Structure 1
Amino acid sequence: IQERKGQELNLEEAKHKAELADKMKSKYLADMSHEIRTPLNAITGFSELMAFADSDEERQGYYEIIKTNNQLLMQLINDILDLSKIEADAIKISYEQVDINELMDTTFASVKLRMPEGVLLFLEKGSCACSFGTDSIRLLQLINNLANNAIKNTKEGSITLGYTCLPNKCLKFYVKDTGIGIAKDKLESLFTRFVKVNDYVEGIGLGLAICQGLVTKMGGSMHVESELGVGSTFSFVLPSHEE
């Protein structure tokens, strides 16, 4: 009887998991449909309006809207492809010796161009010279993803990019902001795909899931510390790899 009860409980648990997966899939399809349609509608609508623009200034305004939505659509598609590759274990990691300070300078210059007005950007380096075995493209992607999240959720104060040196040839990279922060009850599900902390910002909640997948693939771990209304610090630790 006990064995039968155990089997029934296992079946009930499996059924519950299947129902949750089905709900998540339905939510994903609904979110994906909405997020893809939004930039597409803008691109289509303003492309038609450009043909009837009365001045170059008006035409330029339409062009900027089209350009922004085109970038949003491309980012969305790239995120979907990256997540699919990670989950299929088909993503390639190529290790090489990287000058971390040079990479951080490049990232800082890129992020600075996207900073909202009134928000300061800082860079903190853990060493005056640091050569590290990693995939520079994926590392840039990780820091940029976290920086983009910080930008979306920070309206005043500052955002800080940085890294510190740890034992055993490991580095800890972090992005710290003074944004809206995250409630403690939402921290556990933060790195789950399709989870959004703030429904009022663009995106479908793939960025952090991609970061988690990439960091795991590179032998590291991700962490988050946050206080609602004060800000958040996202960080990840990576080991050094030989070429």
Structure 2
Amino acid sequence: MTEPRIQAAGLGKTFPAAAKGQPSVPVLRGISLDVAPGEMVSIVGPSGSGKSTLLHCLSGLEPYDAGSVRLAGRDLGSLGRGALAALRREHVGFVFQSYNLIPSLSARENVALPARLARRRADRGAADRALAAVGLADRAGHRPGQLSGGQQQRVAIARVLAAGPDIVFADEPTGSLDTATGAEVLRLLRDVARGDRSVVVVTHDLDAAALADRVLVLRDGEIHRELRDPSPRQVLDALTQARAGA
């Protein structure tokens, strides 16, 4: 049996009190989940339900207070900062709303950057193939400031494709894009979840969520519903119930 790419058990996270005399704020309350190789999982929920915090804890970007997370077969709780950084560098890719491109580098150089940071030989061919896969072969020499928001997000996805990570985490990847461009970006992410590669995406876009194999609906830091191969309408209905506390 193939080991899940991500395993979380009883995951808990509490934010400290904002001011003296105020209570601490529990954000995640005993979440357990698995993500299989080749699976795309969407996380949706009302504002403040813990979606982004869950993604950050699963990816090792934030520490958690309770439970456990195994990422690419490693127990995150047993790793120091250096080992965590190495694990993310070797096995994890990120796509964020803010693109996180280096303004002074070309699209090709941004795509090749993870290999350089990992001290691997930069493969210009791999970067160009990744840019071609997202429809930007003719923009390889352009800097981010010369590209539209949608094109910059596609460069970010090309960077993931070139690096070839086992797991891709995407946090509101279409939040700054128009509907048509966002749909194109999400189709690209859907294509990333093939073979052994897995994708976890936090999104408020119901059509985007419905592209996933599974949708997890969060409410008050807990998994309220789990949907398999849902329609956008089914995601909306579950999200409406979560907002209403039903």
TM-score, normalisation: structure 1: 0.28
TM-score, normalisation: structure 2: 0.28
Max Rg structure:
1
Task: Select the structure that is richer in helix.
Answer: 1
